[in-house]
Structure 1
Amino acid sequence: MTQVSSPDFVRRHIGPTDADVTTMLKAVGQPSTAALVERALPAGIRAAAELDLKAAPSEPAVIDELAAKAARNQVLTSMIGLGYYGTHTPPVVRRNILENPAWYTAYTPYQPEISQGRLEALLNFQTMVSDLTGLPTAGASLLDEATAVAEAMTLMRRSSKAPADAVLLVDHQVMPQSIAVTQTRALPLGLEVVVADLRAALDESALTEATGGRPIFGVVVQYPGADGGISDWSRLTTAAHDEGALVTVAADLLALTLLTPPAEWGADVAVGTTQRFGVPMGFGGPHAGYMSVRKGLERTLPGRLVGVSVDADGAPAYRLALQTREQHIRREKATSNICTAQVLLAVMASMYAVWHGPRGLSGIAHEVHGKASGLARALQDAGVTLATEAFFDTVKAVVPGQADAVVAAALDRGVNIWRVDANHVSVSVDETTTGAQLDLVASAFGAGPVIATDGEPSWPEDLHRTSAFLTHPVFNSHHSETAMLRYLRTLADRDYALDRGMIPLGSCTMKLNATTEMEAVTWPEFANLHPFAPADQTEGIREVIADLEQWLCAITGYDSVSLQPNAGSQGELAGLLAIHAYHQANGESDRNVCLIPASAHGTNAASAVMAGMKVVVVKTAPSGEIDLDDLRAKVTQHNTTLAAIMVTYPSTHGVFEDTISELCDLVHHAGGQVYLDGANLNALVGMAQPGQFGGDVSHLNLHKTFCIPHGGGGPGVGPIGVRSHLAPYLPNHPFSAEAGPDTGVGPISAAPFGSASILPISWAYVRLMGGAGLTRATETAILSANYLATRLDEHYPVLYSGEDGLVAHECIIDLRDLTKVSGVTVDDVAKRLIDYGFHAPTMSFPVAGTFMIEPTESESLEELDRFCDAMIAIRGEIQEVIDGGVDVADSVLRGAPHTAYSLVGQWDHPYTREQAAYPVGVDPLRKYWSPVRRVDGAKGDRNLICSCPPPEAFES
């Protein structure tokens, strides 16, 4: 085992003890961890030297280092706006959600029976968005506002019947970062984005004039606009609909408590951010974006949708609906490449609405508008002309030739305001803005003190909201801290997360998220930074970013890293766009074919299509490896048009393929680039570097390998590492020269550095582990996977392994033959595992009828054995069905999971209550009870109910 320089933290991060390692090595028949890795990992890809990253001496030392960096940030009052605002996170929400491992260590709620708490919270989120926008169906969060606008673009293109050459028309007061991200996404798809002043374009002739007579498939407006202005878009919407176009509005949810909802003036789609609902600015993220749609568009929504179905007893139960839209199923036909949502942040935003309720939210909105109105009046009294008459929270002032001076004067007073251009500045207020701060800003203009108004809407009466919102009892019942505390505890108790036990998901790497790593996330020096604040105010966080970029380069062997992509899917897109730009720069724009193995993650194919590439699938050999003969044939066939291959290494089959070097050589020889999907990088860290054994670009899942928690399905961070020839094509950003090169492909995410506020988590992890600790973690992950494979192989065949019978950091066990002879499915085993106190492994990916299991380095031998014992006991239950002792339909497997309530009253099963609830090995004192029986997925898809059902639905 590799010696480490930081034994305390490494020992606490890694589950198996030295004695456990000895036991596990004996089981797999290897004399040492070094010998195991030597046999499992192809010699040709091994790193030439040990990973040279020095570990910090202790956890307190790391906290001190982060505190020193945090102190280098200047947290001034930011009144910049542009979609990012100060907000008060209710302490009960901060402590019991953001800082609570029961919420932040949970996985995506694909297993609904053990996810009812966070599914309810997400249903609250959807209801909140639907109520405020007036549109009936909302999704369970998107990545940020800018990418939500881009997703709306493609949704409108799919749904519109406009001709193929139709354009997207965008109002010039849409948030500038949203315009930039949408332009980045439109280019490879061959869509044209026309930006124009649409406030005058209120009929068909004006629309035609704006586009030069070209047809329109969609229109995007901001409500209120980036300049703060409130416009009546109803006539524009009617004109767009008459042209066959759809209309998307990027709307501020807080403003919608006072403004007419978009649905009432005809919008088809609403998008935006929920950041100001209790989620700190965090230098740009993570924040939950949102999308809601009119009736008829619900089945085109990107991302996830929570719906209501029933369980086996007929009781209402929540689940992810429309799961056939998931990208691993639809692949290149996917409507979006989104895999990660922003669940933890969506939960926070939903609970902000639960905490305040409709009256509280309206009160905050009135107060914000009253501050802005008072500031506007003070400026006008001082002779300052305003650029907008109707506004909610943002005042745009006309200051001919004086913008720089006014911004500097405000900065001298400790306030950041926004320089629009040489003649205009804007000031945005929020719930945290104080009277003293308003006076300081006013004085920067030469104006007197500000007296806030009563906050009654000052815009035209036609745009005053009259419809009710958040009428469901959940938003009107938890306004005392006692009630809220108990509600959050009730939801958390319904869920299964890492704080309860092992989540052995293959490819998803559910490992320890150490408390020390999490500590800096809520520090105000990181949490309260505006992403567009001047660079000299953000030196500390940018130093964290620079350190992490440097360390990731050392780990991967790449030359440059961009941390902007805020999900693995966005990293995939960024990497493929870099490849496309590289080929274009070399005069080879015809290279548009992307080879993708049949076993690849589904997001790969979807990302390739979004990057404007044509997907060509490479077959899988019977051994589970990529079929090199088929690869050679495809490379030859597409020799002159080959852009890239996307390959996951180790493969999604859980094997270190020894053909990886040959694969890279074949593609490079044909002029293509190698995109090495970094989903399984945790099997390589410290032992092999993708940038050195053939990769040109990789995305790296910081929420997997580098310990950012999954948060119930998000946040994620998906940075990309590239070799030097691709570095000029990394993402950049219009508001930050430091974010990327001038020659870059444009912004991928709304903020220059993506989800910057959670980067200290990965920074702390790497700093605490050091190179030796990271290497030891990789070795232990490989040992743990092989231990599980060895113990389970005689009960469930391990589908794929290397030449020595070894797997990588995960393994696939095959249930297909058992299903044929018994009728017991992977679903049955997954649900029965709940009774044993486990989350199921990854089901039916990449091979239908199998489980993909990944133990990670963090689980102890005791927990590994507990899981193996449960799986072996379940194999015995399957044997009872095979032997004819019980029919599968009446078996304990098909009846699983069993709730506590299901055990009382009449019992007509052939197995006992004890067998149902307390199978062999289950500790009664640790028993996890599923809150619902097995959920009916098909019913939930047929009958979409995507907002909070009435309380009567839960009456027994």
Structure 2
Amino acid sequence: MSNVYYQEKFQDRHNGPRAAQVEEMLGFLGVGSLEELIEQTVPAQIRSKKALNLPDALGEVAYLEKVAQIAEKNKVFKSYIGQGYYDVILPGVIQRNVFENPGWYTQYTPYQAEIAQGRLQALLNFQTVVSDFTGLEIANASLLDEATAAAEGMFMLYSARKNKDANTFLVSPNVYPQTLDVLQTRAVPFGVEIRIADINEANLSEDVFAAFIQYPAADGTVTDYKNFTAAAHAKNITVCVAADLMSLALLTAPGEWGADVVVGNSQRFGVPMGFGGPHAAFFATKDAYKRNIPGRIIGVTSDANGGYALRMALQTREQHIRRDKASSNICTAQALLAIMASFYAVYHGPQGIKNIASRINDLAKLTDKAIQSLGYEQLNSTYFDTLRFNVGNEVDGLKSEALNHELNFYYDQGIVGISIDETTTFADVQTIVKVFAKVKGKHQSDVELESLVDSLSSSIPSDLERTSSYLTHPIFNSYHSEHEMLRYIKSLEAKDLSLCHSMIPLGSCTMKLNATTEMVPVTWARFGGLHPFAPADQTSGYMQLINELDEWLSEITGFAKMSFQSNSGAQGEYAGLMVIRAYHESRGEAHRNICLIPASAHGTNPASASMAGLKVVVVKTDERGNIDVEDLKAKAIEHAANLNSLMVTYPSTHGVFEETIIEICNIIHENGGQVYMDGANMNAQVGLTSPGLIGADVCHLNLHKTFCIPHGGGGPGMGPIGVAAHLVPFLPNHKVVEVSGPEGISAVSAAPFGSASILLISHGYIAMMGSEGLTTATKTAILNANYIKARLESHYPVLYAGANGRCAHEMILDCRGFKNVGIEVADIAKRLMDYGFHAPTVSFPVAGTLMVEPTESESKPELDRFCDALIAIRQEIAAVEAGEVDQTDNVLKNAPHTAAVVIDDEWNRSYSRQIAAYPLPYLKANKFWPSVGRVNESQGDRTLICSCPSIEEYAEA
């Protein structure tokens, strides 16, 4: 037969098991076909009757050709818009070895510290950068964007306020509009009043709990707030500052003039604009707030051998513990982007950063002097990088001439703003001057730029010129040649286990293939170089991509429309609940404030509900882990007058397709509520069923799970929401770029389309998989999970299963019985490292368990290797149970075993080095060594060190 029409299918590259392996697994499960397994797993009443209506699947080459054509529709003009987004130079050594490297972008969040020391060190470096530049003692390991970081600062200071009657957040009118937008969204559910007023002592009334300042201000001016901050503190009012990280190389650190919280964006440290993201926000504060700071903190501790070690401290997943009492719903960050920014600081060092900042400032001063010489008025007497020219009725002509030269300025009622960045050159200044000169009927040659260079005067007030040092740690002063930098990056990468090494079987987190072809376009300049506020006629490539993704994801979810603004799953939860809130308000039912949440729910669900101003009522689950329908019905009826919503995960957090889900949705609707579906487990739905078909009204999608955006060591993520038709009018809008209608809620993140550049990844995944490929992926994920269940259930109890004994795409292994002989679930997690595996999700949703999800991307040999490891560990536990080995001196309690421990001259353990390091034969050919022994968690929480310590400081601690 001729192969002239043969085309390789991308789905055959994405799905792990080969056809013969699928047959073997089906045989092991005792079913005759994949379809028979699906019939036993997915309830018939929710099965879709038709295939997804999606375009035909493209091959990898064809897709890259298509997306290149889309990219050509984006016009990448030179951007001087500013407003929190700037063009950058990403050093090639960082682009190639971090941004484009699956050894960095396929890592999971560093919950298992012993196999995550590399990214933990890079994130500790990030915290040190932020702490040094802001002049504050403590910083976290990144937040989603500057606007939401400001909102987190507002809420932290509100929660910690001394005057509990104060409910006003005083906001300078000179802040970024997108930040103000998000602050107003977040303030509403808590009754916080946003008061926009000049930042002066006269406005510090008794009802104010905190003030918010932009530094430099949104218009570019630089103001000394030292006296204002002192006056605020005298009245027990705290001060939150949004600062430009690059400017702080030249400006006095806010912490030095009294700021309590400093937030901002590290995008200027080598991260492309990407039409809005992803970028790592930062959050720094005083040591007094270390127990209140939102998000993740990386801290220094020691390992079992007394050596230097790192781990996530204090706030790690606190929403799972505190649930609706949590101070934040943050469950992901922007780790990959924070890591890139930290490497940027390492590569350039303190002098390199200062040189870049000084060059930006000098070019701004040169531009200022040159354009003023043409007869224009420049309004900013002080500035770092941003100028404002009053051009009056010449604005249209100037804008037209700027566009002719492919320049974008910031325009505001006759004022033209120009923000200089790292990429600006002397030649660029000549072009800017040429544009302004032509509008005046003059010529560029009328301005002798070279003669102006030596006459530039300071644009920063002398009292605000930075005198303190920063980045003094050896890490920031050792790797300035590319060779040294490359080796440093690789030395950290080698300490981390990623999908490059083995499967990461995390329940609820879906660590699937992030295909190279999906990733490639993200690095293209025509996607990375676009400002999120660029004129619409320059962004048609992005809009085509976003509109196609909207259409495809609406088809997949069964909804009417998607909003792409949410930068994470938890933020998607919040956005969806705020949309529901707006819907009820539009019907005159603003009193509806009761949110029903099953006891088994992901911890971000109750935290998000609380943030949306809702009161959480917990619904019981039965002995099989399913929602107790009678309890749900009783509570829905009890609260019918005030019922706002139900938050439900499907398949359930326990990994089961609950048979009663349609009835559950109907009960909520009958009692006036809306159904919010958590899309964490969408990987088991795509092509087989959908939230819309089941009866949900809104659902967020974790694009970093089901739709292949990589986890990046703890972010980036995306959590777009899909809604039924009646909720479409209320989808999030944006102050700068209109993306919804007049009834839309205000913004939930800084950029109109969130982390737009990584939408390319999900776009590529769907385009190359097509309807058949996506559906086959879902079926394969269910097959892989049930195969693991069948292999392990005679060794470990499996807690929950569906009506036919099948699990969905994940399952829970019960390890609680091993406590009888002193073996904890954490011991199993650490011992898995010796076998070369990352642990499944530990103690969630049930304490003392492992939740396993293999995804469709893993082949049968990899599944078998993982099962063999867990079976071998079960035999090691059996030896403890039988009294054959000591309960405290055994391979599980001492795990993980580092190479240094195994080759040490002294070995006094009750088992051999061979058993410690090479318990199964495959390890001799391919061994991943944990770089530290078991990490001491409690020591690190007692003595929190969250910036790079000197050897002396660490020894004292």
TM-score range, shorter chain: over 0.9
Counterpart of 1:292 in structure 2 is 284
Aligned partner (choices 299, 302, 306) of residue 310 of structure 1: 302
Match of 1:300, SS state, is coil
User: Relative to structure 1, is the Cα distance of residues 438 and 218 closer, same or farther in structure 2, using a 3 angstrom cutoff?
Assistant: same
Counterpart of 1:207 in structure 2 is 203
Larger CA deviation: 886-895 vs 358-367:
886-895
| 1:401 correspondence with 2:393 | yes
Question: Structure 2 matches for 1:689-728, cutoff 5 A?
Answer: 689-728=690-729
Distance in 1 between residues matched to 2:155 and 2:310, nearest whole Å: 28
Contact 2:317–2:331 under 8 Å retained in 1: no
Counterpart of 1:902 in structure 2 is 901
Distance in 1 between residues matched to 2:479 and 2:388, nearest whole Å: 38
Contact 1:257–1:365 under 8 Å retained in 2: yes
Shift of 1:48: 2.1
User: Relative to structure 1, is the Cα distance of residues 187 and 954 closer, same or farther in structure 2, using a 3 angstrom cutoff?
Assistant: closer
Counterpart of 2:233 in structure 1 is 241
Contact 2:640–2:671 under 8 Å retained in 1: yes
Counterpart of 1:145 in structure 2 is 146
Counterpart of 1:437 in structure 2 is 428
Match of 1:608, SS state, is helix
User: Relative to structure 1, is the Cα distance of residues 595 and 270 closer, same or farther in structure 2, using a 3 angstrom cutoff?
Assistant: same
Shift of 1:6: 6.8
Match of 1:402, SS state, is helix
Distance in 1 between residues matched to 2:553 and 2:8, nearest whole Å: 22
Distance in 2 between residues matched to 1:857 and 1:296, nearest whole Å: 46
| 1:790 correspondence with 2:790 | yes
Counterpart of 1:869 in structure 2 is 868
Distance in 1 between residues matched to 2:759 and 2:307, nearest whole Å: 41
Contact 2:146–2:264 under 8 Å retained in 1: yes
Shift of 1:633: 1.5
Question: Structure 2 matches for 1:776-787, cutoff 5 A?
Answer: 776-787=776-787
Q: Which runs of 5+ in 2 are unaligned?
A: none
Contact 1:836–1:922 under 8 Å retained in 2: no
Counterpart of 1:799 in structure 2 is 799
Counterpart of 1:517 in structure 2 is 518
Shift of 1:238: 1.2
Shift of 1:456: 7.2
Counterpart of 1:882 in structure 2 is 881
Deviations 1:490-530 (A, max 9, x none): 00000000011110000000000000000100100000000
Distance in 2 between residues matched to 1:733 and 1:598, nearest whole Å: 35
Q: Partner letter of residue 775 of structure 2?
A: T
Counterpart of 1:83 in structure 2 is 84
Larger CA deviation: 769-778 vs 378-387:
378-387
Counterpart of 2:586 in structure 1 is 585
| 1:331 correspondence with 2:327 | no
Distance in 1 between residues matched to 2:484 and 2:431, nearest whole Å: 39
Tell me the TM-score normalized by structure 2: 0.97
User: Relative to structure 1, is the Cα distance of residues 923 and 166 closer, same or farther in structure 2, using a 3 angstrom cutoff?
Assistant: closer
Match of 1:95, SS state, is helix
Deviations 1:115-149 (A, max 9, x none): 00000000000000000000010000000111111
Q: Partner letter of residue 899 of structure 1?
A: T
Counterpart of 1:343 in structure 2 is 335
Distance in 2 between residues matched to 1:934 and 1:323, nearest whole Å: 20
| 1:263 correspondence with 2:255 | yes
Question: Structure 2 matches for 1:396-475, cutoff 5 A?
Answer: 396-420=388-412, 422-446=413-437, 448=444, 449=447, 450-451=449-450, 453=453, 457-475=458-476
Distance in 2 between residues matched to 1:578 and 1:823, nearest whole Å: 48
Distance in 2 between residues matched to 1:5 and 1:530, nearest whole Å: 41
Q: Which runs of 5+ in 1 are unaligned?
A: none
Match of 2:68, SS state, is helix
Contact 1:6–1:773 under 8 Å retained in 2: no
Match of 2:812, SS state, is strand
Counterpart of 1:610 in structure 2 is 611
Contact 2:142–2:338 under 8 Å retained in 1: yes
Counterpart of 1:576 in structure 2 is 577
Shift of 1:323: 4.2
Match of 1:296, SS state, is helix
Deviations 1:383-434 (A, max 9, x none): 22222100000001122233333222212221000012x2211100011012
| 1:124 correspondence with 2:125 | yes
Question: Structure 2 matches for 1:13-32, cutoff 5 A?
Answer: 13-32=14-33
Contact 2:300–2:309 under 8 Å retained in 1: yes
Contact 1:283–1:529 under 8 Å retained in 2: yes
Counterpart of 1:773 in structure 2 is 773
Shift of 1:741: 2.1
Question: Structure 2 matches for 1:937-952, cutoff 5 A?
Answer: 937-951=937-951
Contact 1:284–1:754 under 8 Å retained in 2: yes
Distance in 2 between residues matched to 1:926 and 1:723, nearest whole Å: 50
Cα-Cα RMSD = 1.5
Aligned partner (choices 204, 218, 224) of residue 226 of structure 1: 218
Larger CA deviation: 101-110 vs 902-911:
902-911
Contact 2:295–2:315 under 8 Å retained in 1: no
Contact 1:457–1:464 under 8 Å retained in 2: no
Distance in 2 between residues matched to 1:443 and 1:162, nearest whole Å: 56
Shift of 1:744: 0.6
Distance in 2 between residues matched to 1:5 and 1:584, nearest whole Å: 56
| 1:835 correspondence with 2:834 | yes
Deviations 1:87-135 (A, max 9, x none): 1000000000000000000000000000000000000000000000000
Shift of 1:873: 0.3
Shift of 1:952: 5.1
Counterpart of 2:925 in structure 1 is 925
Counterpart of 1:547 in structure 2 is 548
Larger CA deviation: 241-250 vs 377-386:
377-386
Counterpart of 2:503 in structure 1 is 502
Distance in 2 between residues matched to 1:31 and 1:107, nearest whole Å: 36
Deviations 1:866-890 (A, max 9, x none): 0000000000000110011112210
User: Relative to structure 1, is the Cα distance of residues 916 and 387 closer, same or farther in structure 2, using a 3 angstrom cutoff?
Assistant: same
Counterpart of 2:187 in structure 1 is 186
Distance in 2 between residues matched to 1:31 and 1:585, nearest whole Å: 53
User: Relative to structure 1, is the Cα distance of residues 490 and 222 closer, same or farther in structure 2, using a 3 angstrom cutoff?
Assistant: same
Shift of 1:699: 0.2
Contact 1:494–1:931 under 8 Å retained in 2: yes
Distance in 2 between residues matched to 1:712 and 1:867, nearest whole Å: 21
Counterpart of 1:358 in structure 2 is 350
Counterpart of 1:658 in structure 2 is 659
Match of 1:219, SS state, is strand
Match of 1:179, SS state, is helix
Contact 1:217–1:244 under 8 Å retained in 2: yes
Distance in 1 between residues matched to 2:764 and 2:6, nearest whole Å: 15
Match of 2:283, SS state, is strand
Counterpart of 1:481 in structure 2 is 482
Structure 1 segments of 4 or more deviating over 6 A?
A: 953-956
Distance in 2 between residues matched to 1:411 and 1:491, nearest whole Å: 44
Distance in 2 between residues matched to 1:767 and 1:629, nearest whole Å: 43
User: For this pair of structures, how many residues does the alignment match?
Assistant: 941
Larger CA deviation: 217-226 vs 49-58:
49-58
Distance in 2 between residues matched to 1:383 and 1:57, nearest whole Å: 57
Shift of 1:953: 6.8
| 1:935 correspondence with 2:935 | yes
Match of 2:692, SS state, is coil
Q: Partner letter of residue 522 of structure 2?
A: V
Counterpart of 2:313 in structure 1 is 321
Match of 1:168, SS state, is strand
Contact 1:837–1:922 under 8 Å retained in 2: no
Match of 2:94, SS state, is helix
User: Relative to structure 1, is the Cα distance of residues 782 and 7 closer, same or farther in structure 2, using a 3 angstrom cutoff?
Assistant: farther
Counterpart of 1:754 in structure 2 is 754
Contact 2:58–2:770 under 8 Å retained in 1: no
Contact 2:835–2:923 under 8 Å retained in 1: no
Counterpart of 1:383 in structure 2 is 375
Question: Structure 2 matches for 1:549-568, cutoff 5 A?
Answer: 549-568=550-569
